[in-house]
Amino acid sequence: TFGAPFGFDELERELRCNSHIRGTETGRVEYGAKVVQAVRVLYFEPTGDAPTKAVLDAYRAHCHRKDLTTCVSPECKVAVFYTTDGQKAAVGAFQNDQDIQPLLKCKSLVSWTRASFSHQGHLTPKCDTSSWATNARFNSTLQADIVPVTQQCST
């Protein structure tokens, strides 16, 4: 799950064109009293961390874009929410020009609220329609794989 520094519509549009991603869903991540606009991604990660790094690279490229209007809402923040210890290692010390202190948190320590239907897949991706990742809210068969408790992050 990635925080959306320009709002979740633009981030979802861009990530739906990434070949590693199977589906996206927009929403908000809540931790403590703070809320972050975010896009949850489902991607295939058979072994190793290459797919995780490829998705992180796509997110980093999105965060470096200069052609998007900066979202001034406190909900718009660079953030990476990881699920497993392996993903945490791949995320490492994620750095970004937009936000010198990006939020890096274990997903089990936050809560997720899906955005309304009108905010799902709101912008048309700028890639060939045959390669779009679907929006998970519009596809009830698209679900995240179960992560064994022993592999889930805790910090």
User: Residue 36: exposed, middle, or buried by beta-carbon count in 10 A (0-12, 13-18, 19+)?
Assistant: buried
Confidence of residue 100 (pLDDT cuts 50, 70, 90): low
At residue 79, the 3 state secondary structure works out as strand
* Averaged pLDDT for residues 79-102: 77
- Residue of 98 and 3 predicted with greater confidence: 3
Average pLDDT over residues 22-43: 91
**What CATH number is given to the structural domain containing 102?**
3.30.1060.10
Range of the domain at 142: 2-151
The span from the CA of 41 to the CA of 46, in Å, is 15
Highest mean pLDDT among 5-19, 46-60, 104-118: 5-19
How many domains does the chain contain in total?
1
pLDDT one-digit tens code per residue, 110-146: 888 988 888 888 888 988 877 788 877 776 666 666 6
pLDDT band at 90 (very low <50, low <70, confident <90, very high): confident
User: What pLDDT is stored for residue 144 in this prediction?
Assistant: 64
pLDDT the model gives residue 96: 65
Question: Alpha helices of the chain — where are they, by DSSP H?
Answer: 8-15, 50-63, 85-91
